[in-house]
Amino acid sequence: MKIAYHLDNQQPISACAAAPQRAVCPHCGGIVMLRQRQRMDGERIYFWRHLDNRNRVCNGRSRPVKA
């Protein structure tokens, strides 16, 4: 997911290099960690991910279906 809430003030924050390492999931309220991947062209992509094996029924874990 690309948007999460800040732990302290519940403000929405976007996943980027300057974002804090931990945040709150907007769907279930669980803790999410900031992760990154490097694309083939060298660009880094940032996203929020739930802690391993936690909140498995959260709707934010799956990608939304585009209509």
User: Which of 5, 10, 4 has its CA nearest to residue 47?
Assistant: 4
Structure tokens at 67: 């209509």
Strands (E), the chain: 3-5, 12-14, 22-24, 31-38, 44-50
Kindly state whether residue 34 falls inside one of the protein's structural domains.
Answer: yes
What pLDDT is stored for residue 61 in this prediction?
A: 61
What pLDDT is stored for residue 59 in this prediction?
A: 65
Tens of pLDDT along the chain (67 residues) come to 899 999 988 899 999 999 999 999 988 888 999 999 999 999 999 999 988 767 667 766 665 544 4
What pLDDT is stored for residue 66 in this prediction?
A: 44
Number of domains composing the chain: 1
Kindly state whether residue 67 falls inside one of the protein's structural domains.
Answer: no
Kindly state whether residue 66 falls inside one of the protein's structural domains.
Answer: no
What pLDDT is stored for residue 27 in this prediction?
A: 85
Parent domain of 43: 3-54
